Structure 1
Amino acid sequence: MTQTRRRPAPLVALAVALALLVAACGGGKGSDGDPQAAEAGDPVRGGSVTWALEAETGDGWCLPEAQLAISGIQVATTIYDTLTAPDGEGEFVPYLAEAVEPNEDSTEWTITLRDGVTFHDGSPLTAEVVKNNLDAYRGQYPARSALLYIFVLDNIDTVEVTGDLEVTVTTKVPWVAFPAFLHSSGRLGMLGQAQLDDPDSCDRELVGTGPFQLESWEKNRQFVAVRNPDYWQEAPDGESYPYLDEIRFTPVVEGEQRVNGLESGDLDLAYIGAAENFLTLDDLADDGIVKNRDSDENAEVTFLQINASKPPFDDIRIRRAMALGVDRQDLNEVINRGLFQLATGPFARGSVGYLEDSGFPSEPDVEEARRLIAEYEAEEGALPSITYQATPGKTTGEVAVYLQQAAADIGVTIDIATVQQDKLIDNAISGDYDIMGFRNYPGGDPDQLYVWFKSDSPVNFGRIQDPEIDRLLDEGRSEPDPEARREIYEEMNRRFGEQIWSIWTTDVTWRVSSAPEVFGYTVDTLPDLPDGSAPFEGLATGFPAMGLWTTEG
């Protein structure tokens, strides 16, 4: 196995991921490099690939109003471009923008756009359209009803057109990580004006500047994207990207079905997340049936998301008891075959703020857990009913049963409810849950976690009310010194370990598997960024589809 090249994630790296625990994901024998690429020769133009995703995005892609997990983000980055993008060092560089430059104290940012870029409907990319997009995301554009980003971009004070291709953004407080927010894990794509103003079909009549454009979408069956003949980025052969004529995205919830589809040749490419699937794919790779690429670069963490706003999890004794009652190492062995690394907090390895020992309980202690529960019940009465919510799938079902049994061992009764991925997001937003399996917080600039943890933020899904975390979040947002910021976020990590606001399980590794004739998704075959810098190596929020090609053409 060729491992992913590892680099420390710098302070301005960012990826927002609102994504759910479909399975703890991890390593295996999958090759990160692509030894067949050199033998295949130069990229071939034309052809189609069928690409299996782990879930459907039922609400569609009206991005200011969309709720996107990894599958939805992958489709979005195929249709839309973002103003910035992460490079191979995790720095955020101009992408659809030509430049993004701050004033001295990072309270004013000037965005200069590329000239000559057009949307799929032929309309030009202008400063006015970009201003309207940014206003739509932050809830200041009448035609759109923003959701997540009205809070994420709350630090923006004004957005002004200052030239035909220039937009100036002022912020309420210094915002050193602003370029990262212009990417937001691929979710802050620029929509054409016609889509922005569409009152009825913004979710399904998609108009971007990306390498592919929507041809058709049959919900829960297939999303067909075809080549954008006027794409602005030039490939090494002198013609514009992309290489493929067509991508057919299809939702396949069960990982085993994705593996079977790859083995049978019905699928050409798939995202994979379960350890048992990794093992099967390793064997298929040994037989030359598939190729695999793994990455834990800028990883997410999987965790049990606790609703701390209502009993019994508003009491730290019950949160701690639950943490002490779960043997995380055994859970990793049973569910993940021991392939993945245990998480210690909201920051995965390589991320700013990561600590090997954050103070979160590293070993189970059933007797102490029982004592805490008995103490709680003596004061508050019997524990109320607790429901654990999980998405569909074999592995998520196994995790739910394991946790149910672990809870029973310390005297806690848990009921299991299976809900679809988009419904789980809805429940997290509304607070209609007790505890749920979740996957979130891709590595990068920790300021991205501001809205997830700030008291009273509508997207603080754990309903955390912690003045100490609030203080650290505010300090970290505007602190220009990298070492000082690191210390701030390490302190925040320790606070999470002390208060048990979440129960951490594992860091995440994603695997992309393909038919042998598919290329363009490994680190050494991904397209360079427009400024010539190396491509980003992470897979937690998808990867560029414009460089995909197949020898079958």
Structure 2
Amino acid sequence: MKSSLVRFWALSGSIGLVAAGCAGSDEAPTAEPVSTDVAAPTTEPSTTEPSTTDAPPETTSETSVAPEPEPEPESEPQPEPEIEPELQPVRGGTLTMLLDAETDTWDIPNSNCATSCMTIMKQVADPLLALDEDGALEPFLLESFDVDADFTEWTLTMRDGVVFHDGTPADGAALQRSLTEMANGAVQGQVYVKLLDGTNSIELVDDMTVRVTFREPTASYGHQLTEWTGWLLAPSFWDAPDKASAFPVSTGPFAMTEWTRGERTALAANDEYWRTDAAGEALPYLDEVIFRPVPDVSTRRTIMESGDADVNADSFPENLEFWETDWVDQGNGLAERSPDRDVEFLMFNSSAPPFDDVDVRRGLALCTDRDEYITFRAPGTARADGPFAPGSIGHLDDTGLPDFDAAAGTALFDEIGRPDLLVSVTNVPAQLLTAELFADQWSRNCGLDVGIDAFEQTEFITKALTADYQMLLFRNHGSGNPALETVWWHSRHAEGLATNFGRIIDPEMDRLMEALDATDDVDELDAIAQDVNRLFGAQVYNLWLNTGEWALPYRSGVHGVGEISLESGNTQRGAVGGRVWLHEAWIES
């Protein structure tokens, strides 16, 4: 019997698996994810001397009568251990969360929606589907969904009674409109390139049901609907004269009320929100959520330690140990993370010199001491040799990626010549330090001249979409389903504003990605994804560095960060790539 992707999740959730691209570690799902729990204290060796057995009294020839044993004293009754009363959610209050970047637009089909954008949108918009802790798809905003045997026809049915923030119904017509707008977008349209007849294939079946038909198998579509592809936006948003600057209007627990760029984004509780908690109580608990963009990781940590914010998203490796030990020891908390993990890598632009030459890509890999990089710039993370982190579908211990060999790299560049190189990073201090480390390595190890291009975080995805770079320090992948990587690696996504950021044009890669999207059988997915891994090793389309490890610290008195009560009673998958839910967060009085 075939084993499904869901079955794989159920079996491997404890060892971990690794959704939209974002910058390399902000200022920088091993087989097991890093624990967010504090280790129990080691038991100290006992200082009590062991009891000794006295020698028996010497016997005599006269018979003696043993004395009656003294009665043991009655033990004092022990008090019953006190049971801490379960904390009950408190309504009201404002929660402040720190993010690593500002967002330039909420026009999701055409947006550069990186981690900070997605974190805000997760509170404003509900996804159509959700993934539970075992990786099983469940309806979220939808009442139900169905897919045919060859993964070409998806039927999506809305639930009754849900309204948008503007009071209009979230019905089948609104769903059809939203999916159509997504399909027409420059970015989200990449997900819909296989529609049978363009947007005519997004059909309204009845008042609450939409059918989406693809010309080829699209087994990953359900997973796409768990995040930005599946965010339902209201007709009033689509009708806005300037969507680029309009506030998103959706069905989520919070509605956007303020967006002051570079300072704050404010969300107010949606009094008409349709979901309830596990006890049937209305959500959300909070009155307001404030997001503050603070690009510098050190500043974010200082703000958290001073108590001036409630939640932080931090992927800086050098801070991980602090959050997991000192921070928790002080009575604070960490939100649960998904076992899925993204990976950090240097992404090469394969469409232009010098990285259109595989020998240049291979030579730079030989000149790169990744172990030195991890020691100084990514401590506490695992080395990555491919896009699939340890424990995930498609992982290989040896992908064939060239390892550090300065002599071999020098010899190769002696043969092919030494191009001038430019590495692009965001302009936060730790990113610049990482770029400087690589520039020093490549100069020291192989005599290469390297420049550094630093820019604002908001420009990051635009540079990737337009291929305006030589090589880019990047963080991506970790979706848990390798078929979702199609939009990043298939050649049909490499033209114009392209999600195939590396401009990989490779018929073998295309064949493998199409095969991945034609099955949900885990054994087939694993075998195909391993071939993808080997292809990356041979062609060096990216120089893989390390696994991404996110911390989501919150202060004492804050509860429910990352928690979601699914209708089925299952647990929602933990935060992936720092994108956390705040639907059920609350703050003690």
Taking structure 2 as the reference length, what is the TM-score of the superposition? 0.85
Q: For 1:49-75, what per-residue CA distance to the aligned partner results, in whole angstroms no more than 9, with x for missing partners?
A: 1110111102x2121122111110010
Matches for 1:409-448 after TM superposition, within 5 Å: 409=444, 410-448=446-484
Residues in 1 aligned to 2:140 and 2:202: alpha-carbon distance in whole angstroms: 19
Residues in 2 aligned to 1:275 and 1:451: alpha-carbon distance in whole angstroms: 28
Q: In the alignment, is the contact (CA less than 8 A) between 2:106 and 2:243 conserved in 1? A: no
Q: In the alignment, is the contact (CA less than 8 A) between 1:353 and 1:487 conserved in 2? A: yes
Q: For 1:451-471, what per-residue CA distance to the aligned partner results, in whole angstroms no more than 9, with x for missing partners?
A: 211125222111112111111
Q: In the alignment, is the contact (CA less than 8 A) between 1:28 and 1:282 conserved in 2? A: no
Aligned to 1:527: 564
Aligned to 2:394: 353
The answer to whether residue 530 in structure 2 is matched with residue 490 in structure 1 is: yes
Q: For 1:72-126, what per-residue CA distance to the aligned partner results, in whole angstroms no more than 9, with x for missing partners?
A: 0010010011111111111221111111101232221111111100000000011
Aligned to 2:137: 92
After TM superposition, give the deviation of residue 374 of structure 1 in Å: 1.1
Gaps of 5+ in 1: 1-5, 140-145
Residues in 2 aligned to 1:38 and 1:364: alpha-carbon distance in whole angstroms: 55
After TM superposition, give the deviation of residue 239 of structure 1 in Å: 2.5
Taking structure 1 as the reference length, what is the TM-score of the superposition? 0.90
Residues in 2 aligned to 1:342 and 1:111: alpha-carbon distance in whole angstroms: 40
CA 1:271–1:67 in structure 2 vs 1: closer, same or farther (change >3 Å)?
same
The answer to whether residue 208 in structure 2 is matched with residue 165 in structure 1 is: yes
Q: What is the aligned counterpart of 2:546 among 493, 506, 511?
A: 506
After TM superposition, give the deviation of residue 39 of structure 1 in Å: 6.1
Aligned to 1:196: 238
Residues in 1 aligned to 2:256 and 2:482: alpha-carbon distance in whole angstroms: 34
Q: CA RMSD in A?
A: 2.4
The answer to whether residue 296 in structure 2 is matched with residue 260 in structure 1 is: no
Say which is worse superposed, 152-161 or 124-133, in terms of deviation: 152-161
Q: What is the aligned counterpart of 2:427 among 371, 378, 392?
A: 392
Q: What is the aligned counterpart of 2:224 among 177, 181, 187?
A: 181
Q: For 1:450-508, what per-residue CA distance to the aligned partner results, in whole angstroms no more than 9, with x for missing partners?
A: 12111252221111121111111112211354322221111111010111010000111
Residues in 1 aligned to 2:542 and 2:229: alpha-carbon distance in whole angstroms: 25
Q: For 1:292-350, what per-residue CA distance to the aligned partner results, in whole angstroms no more than 9, with x for missing partners?
A: 3463621111100101112221111111111111111111011123x000112111223
Q: In the alignment, is the contact (CA less than 8 A) between 1:295 and 1:509 conserved in 2? A: no
CA 1:444–1:148 in structure 2 vs 1: closer, same or farther (change >3 Å)?
same
Q: What is the aligned counterpart of 1:45 among 75, 91, 98?
A: 91
The answer to whether residue 372 in structure 2 is matched with residue 372 in structure 1 is: no
CA 1:164–1:416 in structure 2 vs 1: closer, same or farther (change >3 Å)?
same
Residues in 2 aligned to 1:533 and 1:282: alpha-carbon distance in whole angstroms: 26
Q: For 1:345-375, what per-residue CA distance to the aligned partner results, in whole angstroms no more than 9, with x for missing partners?
A: 11122322111211113x3100000111111
Residues in 2 aligned to 1:166 and 1:425: alpha-carbon distance in whole angstroms: 34
Matches for 1:443-454 after TM superposition, within 5 Å: 443-454=479-490
Aligned to 1:138: 183
SS in 1 for 2:98: strand
The answer to whether residue 29 in structure 2 is matched with residue 17 in structure 1 is: no
Residues in 1 aligned to 2:549 and 2:84: alpha-carbon distance in whole angstroms: 26
Matches for 1:293-308 after TM superposition, within 5 Å: 293=335, 295=337, 297-308=339-350
Q: For 1:186-211, what per-residue CA distance to the aligned partner results, in whole angstroms no more than 9, with x for missing partners?
A: 45311111001112145432211000
Corresponding letter in the other structure for 1:179: G
Residues in 2 aligned to 1:529 and 1:246: alpha-carbon distance in whole angstroms: 23
Residues in 1 aligned to 2:560 and 2:423: alpha-carbon distance in whole angstroms: 40
SS in 2 for 1:539: coil
Q: In the alignment, is the contact (CA less than 8 A) between 1:8 and 1:351 conserved in 2? A: no
Say which is worse superposed, 268-277 or 216-225, in terms of deviation: 268-277
After TM superposition, give the deviation of residue 287 of structure 1 in Å: 5.1
Say which is worse superposed, 120-129 or 89-98, in terms of deviation: 89-98
Aligned to 1:54: 100
After TM superposition, give the deviation of residue 24 of structure 1 in Å: 7.8
Q: What is the aligned counterpart of 2:438 among 397, 403, 406?
A: 403
Corresponding letter in the other structure for 1:406: Q
Corresponding letter in the other structure for 1:180: H
Aligned to 2:352: 310
Aligned to 1:67: 112
In the comparison of the two structures, how many residue pairs are matched? 525
Aligned to 1:332: 374
CA 1:469–1:8 in structure 2 vs 1: closer, same or farther (change >3 Å)?
farther
SS in 2 for 1:510: coil
Residues in 2 aligned to 1:474 and 1:272: alpha-carbon distance in whole angstroms: 35
Residues in 1 aligned to 2:38 and 2:152: alpha-carbon distance in whole angstroms: 40
The answer to whether residue 493 in structure 2 is matched with residue 466 in structure 1 is: no
Aligned to 2:37: 31
SS in 2 for 1:478: coil
Corresponding letter in the other structure for 2:580: F
SS in 1 for 2:570: coil
Residues in 1 aligned to 2:295 and 2:236: alpha-carbon distance in whole angstroms: 33
Corresponding letter in the other structure for 1:489: A
SS in 2 for 1:138: helix
Gaps of 5+ in 2: 1-8, 40-82
Q: In the alignment, is the contact (CA less than 8 A) between 1:350 and 1:443 conserved in 2? A: no
Residues in 1 aligned to 2:334 and 2:85: alpha-carbon distance in whole angstroms: 17
Corresponding letter in the other structure for 2:552: V
Aligned to 2:125: 80
Aligned to 1:142: none
Residues in 2 aligned to 1:532 and 1:7: alpha-carbon distance in whole angstroms: 16
Residues in 1 aligned to 2:124 and 2:536: alpha-carbon distance in whole angstroms: 37
Corresponding letter in the other structure for 1:332: I
The answer to whether residue 296 in structure 2 is matched with residue 250 in structure 1 is: no
SS in 1 for 2:424: strand
SS in 1 for 2:491: coil
SS in 2 for 1:224: strand
- Structure of higher CA gyration radius: 2
After TM superposition, give the deviation of residue 228 of structure 1 in Å: 0.6
CA 1:506–1:7 in structure 2 vs 1: closer, same or farther (change >3 Å)?
farther
Residues in 2 aligned to 1:218 and 1:288: alpha-carbon distance in whole angstroms: 33
